[in-house]
Structure 1
Amino acid sequence: MPGLQSLSKYERHWLKDDVRAALSVAAVALPVAIAYAQLTGVNAAVGLYSCVLPMLVYALMGTSRQLIVGPDAATCAVIAAVVTPLAAGDALKHWQLVMTMTVMTGFWCLIASRFKLGVLADFLSKPILMGLLNGVAITIIVGQFSKIFGFDFEEKYLLERLGGVPTYLSKTHGPTLLMALLTVAVYFAMKRFRPAWPSSMFAIAAGGLLVWVFNLGQFDIKTIGSVAGGLPTFQTPTFNLGIARELVMPALNLAMVSFVSMMLTARSFAAKNGYDIDADKEFRALGFANIASALSQGFAVSGADSRTAVNDANGGKTQLVSIIAACIIAIVAIFLTAPLEFIPSAALGVVLVIASIHLIDLKAIWKLRLRDRPAFFLALTTLFAVLFIGVIPGITLAVLLGLFQFLQTVMRPTDQVLGLDSKGVIRSVDNDEKAKAIPGVFIYRFNSPLTYFNATYFKRRLLERYVKESEHADCIIIDTVPCFTHLDLSVMAMLADLEVLFKKRGVRLILAGRKRQMIGWFQQTDMKFGDGGIVIRSDLYLAIKLNQHYKAALAEGSAAVVQKQEDDKDKVLTHSQL
């Protein structure tokens, strides 16, 4: 428990900052948790339950000092997209499916942590996450229009909903829209005159107070209704377990999205405050936090960037902030839920829209167009996939597209022909003419690890560039450092073919770099090297220098003797370098 170890070294002068940060975090988390509960399709109290135990668990098991876990827009949107069709309108079944999916998400995280798959934080690339968050934010905003304008969507998908906008606007419920506008006014007034205060909580409280004082329910203004407070009671699922099979892969997707989103937040604040976090331990902490949420009747959680930012801005030093904030939310969930039933749904819709607007950053996606076009197309594809075919299919498509993009980079990488500049430094031969090819020598670099699925491409590119750029060279030197990273029998067979091909043309083939590793692989595969086979050298400079000696000796008719001398020199130089 890294968090517990950190708390054991707690310094008393941190307490004031941690208490102030905890009060601010709780003030922000309360309205957001209630709003995200509605987004997920469960009772408001469930949103509060989803904060308490997960925050306590992460405080003990997490490696970040500032991160606050809790309900998140992306995770709630994913859960709602998966569970709503399976529940078919049954509220209890919906709630139980949400908890079941949350448990599965937690177990996927624990499995990933057990096999040290924290590197998966880099699997969902930043462009994919950018497209995902923008798509989820737009989907949430459109979905909340029904609460703000007082109508119900009949369509399931975004495009159909947008197509019916004129019809829906004609069904606008005036009192509901006025309540939404009042919430917006209070929110921005608080932002303007009291920016340090929790604007969302005051906006929602103002709406609830008006409903209670003036009995606005008589005007058909919808509220969140009765909130069953008290301690959560454990319940086992009563639905057909066959339905659980439908949740396995979506739970895996949810675990990936939650973890990557959490790691981006945790890493950014860790870097700002000058410490490191452990990705594998973070995976485990997220897993136990989700299991704790499900056991307390809550839904899936992730790293909450807005609440983490509030924590950091108020000077929070340790995870004691999470513990204090969780206790405050627990008191509200157990003893103070009665006033929550007066909160207007329109006010919650406004809070969700405002929170989602902060997730939208289309400008960042557009900037990728100039800096990295493949990343731009990947982000754009993810965005449109989430909007047009849904969150889960969109994530799956984006991950597959990112994987294919990676495979394309590995299978068809860049390559260079190398030469020497005026100072004798090896560099790429290109249009700036700072380096020139060495007469009679062709030096080739392939910028990707060689394996069975790109060995043929390597061979083709080497021959193409050799014929095009240095056909009269009688020596080919291959830089083995970037491409020969592991033993692959297909690659070794390809090397043997090249050696035979070039020997027929009287061309000497030299591998430069990773000498001991290469000799070991040649011995394992019974391939001939050295005199009469492929020559292996310690590095590019030595390969060039000893090749010059070999050519000079060849002109004198004593090449075999010089080859032996070259090998001896290489051994001595390698030993001295080591």
Structure 2
Amino acid sequence: MPKALFRYLPILSWARVYTRDTATSDLVAAVIVTIMLIPQSLAYALLAGLPPEMGLYASILPLVAYAIFGTSRALAVGPVAVVSLMTATAIGQLGLSTPGDIALAAITLAFLSGVFLTLIGILKLGFLANFLSHPVIAGFITASGVLIAASQLKHILGIDAGGHTLVELGISIARHIEDTNPITLGIGVSATAFLFWVRKGLKPLLRKAGLGPRLADILAKAGPVAAVAVTTLAAWAFGLGEHGVRLVGAVPTGLPPLSAPSFDLSMWRTLLLPAVLISIIGFVESVSVAQTLAAKRRQRIDPDQELIGLGTSNIASALSGGFPVTGGFSRSVVNFDAGAETPAAGAYTAVGIAIATLLLTPLLFFLPQATLAATIIVAVLSLVDLSILKKTWEYSRVDFAAVSATIVLTLLVGVEVGVSAGVLLSIVLHLYKTSKPHVAEVGLVPGTQHFRNVLRHKVDTLPGVLTLRVDESLYFANARFLEDYVLGRVADCENLDHVVLMFPAVNEVDHSALETLEELNRRLAEQGITLHLTEVKGPVMDRLQRSHFLHDLSGRVFLSQYDAWCALKPGASEGAEKKGVAAQ
């Protein structure tokens, strides 16, 4: 088969070596993830402001699509908290009121996200996600976790409240706090406390009772299912719906319907930017999880193919009545810990969810919405990591400012502004940090051939020679800084004959930087100062050789800084003609 086919269809690689033992491991993992995913899918649909069945629909075909096109052996795709919140925010901008229109908007959003992810995957643009700094993403996810938890308090209290920011939610909840339903509050608080206890306390308790580690783990993961079952039974038995407890209500039975997105251009214009933001955040979260899990088994993933895997998953979600999906952290870790060997575990999970939509949905009629809200709150609070503020404050004030701005904007202005600010801040931070490259004057460590910063080590320097080590690639944003820095240092030195630029950390010299080096060479020559380069990397040297710079260079290119030291020290014979030395 052509290599390109294996490149775009990773299933062809692992399916050839699929065995009965592997299938057994995948089936066991699928059972555990299915148990976990059913209440999560319902809860995240509720968070997105959508009918609960759409959460189930978004957990069937997307898993199958990822099994075909994805490269991670353990990633579990489906609805996740942050993307669900962003979906609710995006649809809210449209001002829709009918359930059918809202569902169609969610389907369209998933389609747009899928097309965008697939296209940048085909074009191999996955590297663009590298411009998002981890602290900024951590800040956005932390703020989103707080916002999501706050948005679910209305379901815990049984009141009407709304808002897209923390302030709006707080004001709205305060205005309606008197309408709190005591029974709903009791269900919500009890379910939340139970789920928090299940996360930490149930598994050790089951192990003490003599259960094996695998069975204890399965039962602990089934905690949300137990909360759903008990509260649903209580609502049915005691007729809690008649006492003001809000229930999920009728959930359609059957497999996902074949759906199509809207092709209304005005809707596309409104949803395009949210779709791009959802795609970026979803991809970063998904790839981070996939790479972490792959590293534990000494496996690798292909980020560009992951874009295609996530893109086709979202397109599949749109075609089956779902909403935007991505790789979820909690369910992927569960999938990994449960022993999933291949993406087939996701396909088996899809079968389990499909069976649930066929047989179990009538049982969800009496499920209290407070229970689903408790499930969301417990899940998202694990995303909140305020320690990132302390870490960045101690390590980098610039990163701290970016994280703080992202958190504050997300909480006080909204999700889209927060994530947009995070993306912009990530790019600005990169440009800021590289626009002022570290440049150090270096000297020879006595008794060695090593050169170090004169401000940090006791070193020897040569009279009439200024040696500067450039610790960053040179491009349009920092080229002028280097020129000003060198000329400033030259102005401070007396009786200077040579300037040596060390390039051991320079991996790139773009055309703007080349012009700067040419200008620097000319201005130094006018002052009677010779410019030399040392330790130029091969790819950089190749480019310089394609220009006139080396021909016009007033000095030489040395293989190592020690060679330059020996050639330029007093008494050394430099020869009458200038010659270039091949770079490393």
Q: Contact (CA 8 Å) 2:502, 2:536: kept in 1 or not?
A: no
**Structure-2 separation of matches of 1:358 and 1:8:** 38
SS in 2 for 1:493: helix
* 1:258, distance to aligned residue in structure 2 (A): 0.6
* 1:180, distance to aligned residue in structure 2 (A): 1.2
Is 1:471 aligned to residue 484 of structure 2? no
Aligned to 2:209: none
Q: Which of 36, 57, 61 is matched with 2:44 structurally?
A: 36
* 1:399, distance to aligned residue in structure 2 (A): 1.0
| TM-score relative to the length of structure 1 | 0.91
**Structure-1 separation of matches of 2:459 and 2:398:** 30
Q: Which of 407, 416, 420 is matched with 1:396 structurally?
A: 420
Aligned to 2:318: 294
- Which deviations, in whole Å up to 9, do the C-alpha atoms of 1:262-314 show, x marking residues without a partner? 00100100011111111111111000011001100001111111111111222
Aligned to 2:429: 405
Aligned to 2:110: 102
Is 1:563 aligned to residue 576 of structure 2? yes
Is 1:342 aligned to residue 366 of structure 2? yes
Aligned to 1:536: 557
Q: Contact (CA 8 Å) 1:183, 1:206: kept in 2 or not?
A: no
Q: Contact (CA 8 Å) 1:130, 1:365: kept in 2 or not?
A: no
After TM superposition, the structure 1 = structure 2 runs for residues 320-335 of structure 1, keeping only pairs within 5 Å, are 320-335=344-359
Aligned to 2:535: 513
Q: Contact (CA 8 Å) 1:449, 1:483: kept in 2 or not?
A: yes
**Structure-2 separation of matches of 1:352 and 1:518:** 52
Aligned to 1:132: 140
Deviates more, 1:85-94 or 1:30-39: 85-94
Aligned to 1:257: 281
* Amino acid aligned to 1:376: F
**Structure-1 separation of matches of 2:231 and 2:540:** 73
Q: Which of 505, 510, 522 is matched with 1:482 structurally?
A: 505
**Structure-2 separation of matches of 1:186 and 1:499:** 72
Q: Contact (CA 8 Å) 2:164, 2:414: kept in 1 or not?
A: no
SS in 2 for 1:500: helix
* Amino acid aligned to 1:277: I
Q: Which of 216, 238, 244 is matched with 1:220 structurally?
A: 244
**Structure-1 separation of matches of 2:155 and 2:11:** 40
With over 3 angstroms needed to count, the CA separation of the structure-2 counterparts of 1:235 and 1:501, relative to structure 1, is closer
Q: Contact (CA 8 Å) 1:234, 1:295: kept in 2 or not?
A: yes
| TM-score relative to the length of structure 2 | 0.90
Q: Contact (CA 8 Å) 1:518, 1:536: kept in 2 or not?
A: no
Aligned to 1:546: 567
After TM superposition, the structure 1 = structure 2 runs for residues 179-578 of structure 1, keeping only pairs within 5 Å, are 179-188=187-196, 190=198, 191-192=201-202, 193-194=205-206, 196=217, 197=219, 198-237=222-261, 240-468=264-492, 470-483=493-506, 485-488=508-511, 490-514=512-536, 524-527=546-549, 529=551, 533-548=554-569, 552-553=572-573, 562-564=575-577, 567=579, 574=582
* Amino acid aligned to 1:378: A
SS in 2 for 1:442: strand
**Structure-2 separation of matches of 1:303 and 1:416:** 44
SS in 1 for 2:551: coil
* 1:363, distance to aligned residue in structure 2 (A): 1.7
* Amino acid aligned to 1:83: I
Task: Give the alignment's Cα RMSD to 1 decimal.
Answer: 2.3
With over 3 angstroms needed to count, the CA separation of the structure-2 counterparts of 1:150 and 1:449, relative to structure 1, is same
Q: Tell me, which stretches of 5 or more residues in structure 1 are unaligned?
A: 554-558
- Which deviations, in whole Å up to 9, do the C-alpha atoms of 1:53-111 show, x marking residues without a partner? 11111112211111111111111111100102314322111110100010000011111
SS in 2 for 1:436: coil
- Which deviations, in whole Å up to 9, do the C-alpha atoms of 1:113-140 show, x marking residues without a partner? 1111121332222112101111111111
**Structure-2 separation of matches of 1:160 and 1:202:** 33
* 1:156, distance to aligned residue in structure 2 (A): 4.0
Q: Contact (CA 8 Å) 1:522, 1:529: kept in 2 or not?
A: no
**Structure-1 separation of matches of 2:517 and 2:395:** 37
With over 3 angstroms needed to count, the CA separation of the structure-2 counterparts of 1:228 and 1:361, relative to structure 1, is same
Fraction of identical pairs, as percent: 28
With over 3 angstroms needed to count, the CA separation of the structure-2 counterparts of 1:277 and 1:373, relative to structure 1, is same
* Amino acid aligned to 2:146: I
Q: Contact (CA 8 Å) 1:180, 1:350: kept in 2 or not?
A: yes
* Amino acid aligned to 1:13: D
SS in 2 for 1:529: helix
**Structure-2 separation of matches of 1:256 and 1:174:** 41
* 1:483, distance to aligned residue in structure 2 (A): 3.6
**Structure-1 separation of matches of 2:94 and 2:196:** 39
Q: Contact (CA 8 Å) 2:107, 2:260: kept in 1 or not?
A: no
* 1:423, distance to aligned residue in structure 2 (A): 2.4
Deviates more, 1:366-375 or 1:403-412: 366-375
After TM superposition, the structure 1 = structure 2 runs for residues 139-150 of structure 1, keeping only pairs within 5 Å, are 139-150=147-158
SS in 2 for 1:86: coil
* 1:525, distance to aligned residue in structure 2 (A): 4.4
* 1:491, distance to aligned residue in structure 2 (A): 3.1
**Structure-1 separation of matches of 2:536 and 2:361:** 68
**Structure-1 separation of matches of 2:374 and 2:240:** 18
SS in 2 for 1:428: strand
**Structure-2 separation of matches of 1:515 and 1:200:** 57
* Amino acid aligned to 2:576: Q
Is 1:80 aligned to residue 88 of structure 2? yes
* 1:315, distance to aligned residue in structure 2 (A): 2.0
With over 3 angstroms needed to count, the CA separation of the structure-2 counterparts of 1:185 and 1:442, relative to structure 1, is closer
- Which deviations, in whole Å up to 9, do the C-alpha atoms of 1:130-188 show, x marking residues without a partner? 01111111111111000000111144432132245443332211111112133235435
* 1:9, distance to aligned residue in structure 2 (A): 0.6
Deviates more, 1:225-234 or 1:34-43: 225-234
* Amino acid aligned to 1:545: C
**Structure-2 separation of matches of 1:2 and 1:152:** 47
* 1:239, distance to aligned residue in structure 2 (A): 7.8
With over 3 angstroms needed to count, the CA separation of the structure-2 counterparts of 1:5 and 1:521, relative to structure 1, is closer
